[in-house]
Structure 1
Amino acid sequence: MISETATNGTGSVRTGPVSAADAFAPVETTAATPVDSSVPGDRLPLAALLVMALMGFILIATETMPAGLLPQIAAGLSTSEGTAGQLVSAYALGTVIATMPAVALTRGMRRKPVFIVGVLGFLVANIITAFSGEIALSLAARFLAGAFSGLIWGMLAGYARRITAPKYAGRALAIASIGTPIGLAVGTPLGSWLGTAFDWRLSFGTLAVLTLITALLAAALVPDAPGQAAASRVPLVRILHIPGVAVILAVIVAWMLAHNIVYTYISAYLRSGNLRLSVDVALVTFGVAALIGIGFTGAVIDRALRPLVLGSITLFLAAGVVFIIGHESVVAVLVAIVLWGLAFGGAAAQLQTAISMASGENADVANSMLGVAFNVAIFAAGVIGAVVIGNFDGVTLPVVMSGLALTALAVAFVGRRTAFPTKP
């Protein structure tokens, strides 16, 4: 495995552990992604990557499931819809609090055992949620699910790259990330239908069964990989000083906030134009377009990451403009949704690839920061979106979306040297 090499600011090269005195100093890294010697160098470990994608699907479906079942969950737990809605907040809080410490503590361990423990912990949390009769226990289970989700998301990108030959690293991330748009397109609507037609507990029970299947598939199909060597580990705080990492995180917050403000409150936007377009149709259309977007991302990400990121954000911005101008036309709104999905589908793979390249062998911890940034954006979108629709018309949502997208585009554009380099 190739260890990290860092410059000390004077031009000389040093390797090995970083002293406590250097904990807050800037650091530059140049590292190659370690590849386990048991992995063939000329092909993708497709089965293993698809298992990771399945886990991503389950994570996304679990995170968003309560939003479509609030009346049923509230009735089942004898509480209000507002309190039941905190199941989403508890999950996000667990992710924000636990992700970085969990990834930092486990980054030196073999990857497969950590992954399987994370999946099994997530399984326990979903089983508790499915059978709990008390809102306090349900909230605790959702916090636990969020914590294990953060561990899995934090290590997933680095793990996918470690079991893949470097020339396929970007494509591997695109495949491992495909569960996200599928979860949004299929998982959330399917779970809502199951909970509405039968019982909300069945939705979480189904997710628990899928999680168990994923654990078994992971044990059988996913190869192991080494953890990060002690000599190459950078202290947690110093990772923010690695050139490019802070810029990428800023793009993530702005772009994800822009996305989630509209995605979370899409029903309010559709009502603002009196459109005969259901939320289910809108979300499925978005999901299908997102699948196409991630397919395109996988095809070109290893050759043209910077143009891909800038092009995706620009297309996302165009979707926001069409949302504003055509908010009273079903055709225009559908066009905007397609543009939105195409632009956003590959966002996770693009940003994970960028932060993994920038952080080198510290990709696991950097990706845990990415996961925290995502969940901070989700939490903030819920609050900001509620304020917007409480004081303005729903068409204001894409106005905010467009402003944030423009901010993300500007930050990504100026990060041409380290965050989104012109040349890899």
Structure 2
Amino acid sequence: MPATTHADTPEAPGTLGTSEASREAAPQDTPGPSADRLPLPALLALATAVFVTSLTETLPAGLLPAMSSDLGVGESAAGQTVTVYALGTALTAIPLAAATARWPRKRLLLASMAGFAAANTVTALSSAYTLTMVARFVAGIAAGLAWALLAGYARRLAPRHLEGRAVAVAMTGIPLALSLGVPAGTFLGQAVNWQTAFLVMTGLTLLLLAWIAALVPDRPGREHFAGTPVRAALRVPGVLPVLAVTLVFVLAHTILYTYIATLLDDLGLGDATDTVLLVFGAASLLSIWLVGALIHRRLRTLMVAGTLLVAVAATGLALWADSASVVYAAAALWGLGWGGVPTLLQTSAGDAAGDAADAAQAALVTLWNAAMAAGGMLGGLLFGLFGAGAFAWSALVLLVPVLAVVLAARTHGFPARRTPTA
């Protein structure tokens, strides 16, 4: 599928990608998308990279007892392997995005995946808590590098009119990691040992490196990123509302998801945790499919609907969680609302920021991971003070301002009429 390669050129805020002139003048040396279909082999490689990134972050959640025993620390200390990963991403995403702005995208993606392979290998072989924490922090840095480029890379691999669907395909790695990867990793850790789960991640990443090298087309870096710092992106109308929604929505979701096993155990459904997560994941995949099909025309509607569905799910868990059927229904609604949210937020940030898209994406990645780190800590505090019932209520309270901002950002951020570049 021959197409043109292009260097990025400045455009007016609110546009996507590069100008048509730059596309026509670009050298003809890099394969790209056809005019009417998605480059699925390349996008599925990016989806696998998203899967590796997400699963590496959350895998310890199902392995904490064994990890804490082997590392000689308590489960709460072992749980900080998730927090330090998120902190590594939050602290480094913006400076790394700026420092590597001019790198070719393929080289940058290969470097980040190699970082995951190294960090997961060290985590598997380490018997020292300090070394494990360092390896997890390095994995978080690799994630910051990956998240700052994955959504934009997916968009630039696709034809203009299919950019939203391309991001949706790439983002399928998130619900797959949460619904299938974590339970599978937990089963593997219980059947063999937790080190094997991390070594399997290393093997998967090595296969992914070969896949990317063979089938993912390259794209050039962005020369203008260094001249577009994050503070400039924040001044573009619509960027702040998207970032605010990202921070609070992810915080609400993380509090509930991180402690879902604790909540289910409190409800007497601890043995059903894997099944509940499977329902959540299946609904998330359906959500991503719907978002991919409708995002070009209905981004605002999808964002409002997603927020409302997660809020209804939290309400059900807060008020009627003593019924198993309500719990399963809430998991389905939660997944249906949440699954497409990463795609919607990253697309909204790119639409709003225009020229400053890379800076806005780096800020979004930073806030996303800051919210994940804060969600784990805040959830633990809420549990200690109020018990497991506080998780659903806190998520519901946080979703009220999320809905208010989405509804208010009708002109910029989550506009009623989306007008990407023709």
When normalised by structure 2's length, the TM-score is: 0.91
Q: 1:160 aligns with which of 154, 160, 163?
A: 154
Q: 1:220 aligned to 2:214?
A: yes
Secondary structure at the aligned position of 1:377 is classed as helix
Matched, 1:402 2:396: yes
Q: What amino acid is aligned across from residue 338 of structure 1 in structure 2?
A: A
Comparing 66-75 and 206-215, the one that deviates more: 66-75
Is the aligned partner of 1:3 residue 2:6?
Answer: no
Shift of 1:133: 2.0
Q: Distance in 2 between matches of 1:71 and 1:43?
A: 46
Partner of 2:143: 149
**How many angstroms apart in 2 are the aligned matches of 1:258 and 1:338?**
17
Q: Structure 1: which amino acid aligns with 2:208?
A: T
Q: Is the Cα contact below 8 Å between 2:110 and 2:209 reproduced in 1?
A: yes
Contact 2:228/2:359 (<8 A) preserved: no
2:290 maps to which residue? 296
Alignment deviations for residues 59-87 of structure 1 (CA, whole Å, 9 cap, x no partner): 11110111111121122223332322221
For residues 191 and 163 of structure 2, what CA distance do their matches in structure 1 show?
Answer: 42
Q: Which residue of 1 aligns with 2:16?
A: 32
Aligned to 1:124: 118
Residue 245 of structure 2: aligned partner: 251
User: After superposition, what is the alpha-carbon deviation per residue over 1:70-109, rounded to whole angstroms, capped at 9, x for unaligned?
Assistant: 1211222233323222211221111111111001111122
Secondary structure of residue in 1 paired with 2:297 = coil
Structure 2 residue corresponding to 1:270, chosen from 264, 271, 284: 264
- Confirm whether residue 97 of structure 1 aligns to residue 65 of structure 2: no
Query: What residue is the counterpart of 2:309 in the other structure?
Result: 315
Q: After the TM superposition, which residues 52-91 of structure 1 pair with which residues of structure 2 at under 5 Å, given as runs? A: 52-91=46-85
What is the CA distance between 1:31 and its match in structure 2?
Answer: 3.4
Equivalent position amino acid for 1:296 in 2: L
Q: Which moved more, 1:380-389 or 1:73-82?
A: 73-82
Residues 228 and 356 in structure 2, CA contact (< 8 A), matched pair in contact too: yes
Which of 231, 234, 257 aligns to 1:240? It is 234
Task: Provide the C-alpha distance between the structure 1 equivalents of 2:225 and 2:89, rounded to a whole number of angstroms.
Answer: 28
Whole-Å separation in 2 of the counterparts to 1:281 and 1:74: 25
- Mean CA deviation greater in 206-215 or 126-135: 126-135
- Equivalences for residues 279-358 of structure 1 within 5 A: 279-358=273-352
Q: What is the rounded CA distance, in whole Å, between the counterparts of 2:333 and 2:74 in structure 1?
A: 37
Please report how far the alpha carbon of residue 378 of structure 1 lies from its aligned counterpart in structure 2 after TM superposition. 1.1
- Pick which of 407-416 and 69-78 moved more: 69-78
Query: Residues 123 and 277 of structure 1: is their aligned pair in 2 closer, same or farther, counting only changes over 3 Å?
Result: closer
**Could you say which residue in structure 2 is the equivalent of 1:12?**
none
- Structure-2 separation of matches of 1:270 and 1:83: 22
Cα 1:2–1:197 shift into 2, 3 Å: closer
Return 390-399 or 39-48, whichever deviates more.
390-399
Indicate the residue corresponding to 1:230 in structure 2.
224
Q: Which amino acid aligns with 1:33?
A: G
Residue 233 of structure 2 contacts residue 357 of structure 2 at CA under 8 Å; is this kept in 1? no
Percent identity over the alignment is 38
Q: Is the 8 A contact 2:225 2:359 kept in 1?
A: no
Question: 1:276: Cα distance to partner?
Answer: 6.8
Corresponding residue for residue 378 of structure 2: 384
CA displacement at 1:121 relative to structure 2: 1.5
Distance 1:232 1:4, change over 3 A: farther
Partners of 2:293 and 2:413 in 1: how far apart?
A: 21
Tell me if the contact between 1:107 and 1:365 (Cα under 8 Å) persists in the aligned partners: no
> Distance between the aligned counterparts of 1:191 and 1:32, measured in 2?
38
State whether residues 93 and 144 of structure 2, in contact with CA within 8 Å, keep that contact through their aligned partners in structure 1: yes
Report the Cα distance in structure 1 between the residues aligned to 2:261 and 2:128, rounded to whole angstroms: 30
Q: Distance in 2 between matches of 1:156 and 1:272?
A: 38
Aligned residues: 402
Structure 1 residues not aligned, in runs of 5+? 7-28
Task: Give yes or no for contact 2:225–2:356 (8 Å, CA) kept in 1.
Answer: no
Aligned alpha-carbon RMSD (Å): 1.7
Measured after TM superposition, the shift of residue 415 of structure 1 is 0.8
1:327–1:395: 8 Å Cα contact kept in structure 2?
Answer: no
Counterparts of 1:85 and 1:53, CA distance in 2: 26
Name the aligned partner's letter for residue 375 of structure 1. Answer: N
Structure-2 separation of matches of 1:230 and 1:378? 30
The 3-state SS of whatever aligns with 1:86 is: helix
The DSSP-based 3-state class of the residue aligned with 1:85 is: helix
Contact 1:66 1:88 in 2 (8 A): yes
Q: When the two structures are superposed, what TM-score results if normalisation uses the length of structure 1? A: 0.91
